[in-house]
């Protein structure tokens, strides 16, 4: 994901300027929440959240390589009113690292080597068309023991799609991941962090937990290695879910930043877990 905004709680909305806002002066569009757990939905210039604080982000142009939906077997059904997960709960100093928009034949292998060096297990949110284009890389992620989350087939803003199209985007990605890795993803991350009732209902139908984030260093914007490092170190707390990217463009700054933050976080007593 490469678009960012502040968290949205039941008490109010706080948004930060994102790339598309800067480029097109677009506005935010807030949609109604889902059932008893309101889930705000924004345009791709915003991020929907529920916790008290923490910056948030991502983007991709839909591909023409879409195939007919081939949904794989689905995990157990979940509650339709389940909120997205913004934090992990595994005791003091537990945090999670999530890496979006791959797999990439250039940057994913570099990140895998770093994770192996520091014995860190991460969650890779994969786009279906990238899995299809780089199946060997996706298999390597699975072989190294990392989790793989569904990040849609083409990375569209699901808020603007009809319900059938939402289901198709999610099912195609699940099918591609299952076909290549043998795994059925149990986690779903919405592009741009844009959640809607239709997306949450589809998560419930397919048994996927909606996964968000609480620390976004905006690495997609290539703000510089020092900026990425300081953002992560300044904002990470017990339970934080950190957002990074291995796909969607030049991710050399992300790789360089991970070389710094992984040993620093471990030295600070944090331990990584998966959602």
155 pLDDT more than 70: yes
Contact 156, 62 (CB under 8 A): yes
CA distance 75 to 77: 6
Domain boundaries, the chain: 8-60+80-272
Q: So which residues are the catalytic ones?
A: 100, 245
- Token duo for residue 199: 């997306």
pLDDT tens figures, 65-100? 334 444 444 445 555 567 999 999 999 999 999 999
**CATH number belonging to the domain at 8-60+80-272, selected among 3.90.1150.10, 3.20.20.370, 3.30.2310.20, 3.30.465.10:** 3.20.20.370
What's residue 80's pLDDT? 59
Task: Judge whether 194 and 179 are in contact, CB under 8 Å.
Answer: no
Tell me the three state secondary structure of residue 231.
helix
What value does the mean pLDDT of the chain take?
A: 80
What are the pLDDT digits (tens) for 107-125?
Answer: 999 999 999 999 999 999 9
What does the pLDDT look like over 237-246, one tens digit per residue?
A: 999 999 999 9
């Amino acid at each position: 994901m490469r678009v960012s905004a502040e968290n949205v709680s039941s008490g109010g909305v706080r948004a930060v300027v994102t790339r598309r806002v800067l480029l097109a002066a677009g506005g935010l569009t807030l949609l109604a929440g889902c059932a008893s757990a309101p889930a705000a939905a924004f345009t791709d210039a915003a991020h929907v959240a529920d916790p008290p604080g923490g910056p948030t982000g991502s983007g991709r142009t839909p591909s023409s390589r879409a195939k007919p939906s081939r949904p794989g077997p689905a995990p157990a059904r979940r509650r339709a009113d389940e909120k997205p997960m913004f934090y992990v709960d595994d005791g003091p100093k537990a945090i999670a690292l999530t890496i979006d928009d791959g797999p990439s034949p250039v940057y994913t292998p570099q990140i895998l080597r770093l994770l192996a060096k520091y014995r860190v297990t991460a969650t890779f949110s994969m786009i279906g068309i990238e899995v299809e284009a780089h199946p060997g890389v996706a298999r390597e992620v699975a072989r190294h023991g990392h989790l793989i989350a569904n990040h849609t087939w083409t990375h569209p803003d699901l808020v603007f799609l009809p319900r059938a199209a939402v289901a198709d985007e999610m099912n195609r990605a699940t099918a591609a991941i299952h076909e290549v890795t043998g795994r059925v993803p149990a986690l779903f991350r919405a592009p741009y962090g844009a959640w809607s009732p239709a997306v949450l209902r589809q998560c419930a139908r397919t048994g996927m937990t909606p996964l968000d984030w609480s620390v976004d260093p905006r690495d997609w914007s290539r703000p510089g290695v020092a900026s990425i490092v300081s953002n992560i170190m300044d904002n990470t707390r017990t339970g934080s879910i950190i957002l990074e990217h291995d796909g969607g463009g030049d991710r050399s700054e992300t790789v360089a930043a991970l070389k710094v933050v992984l040993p620093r976080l471990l030295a600070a007593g944090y331990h990584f877990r998966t959602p």
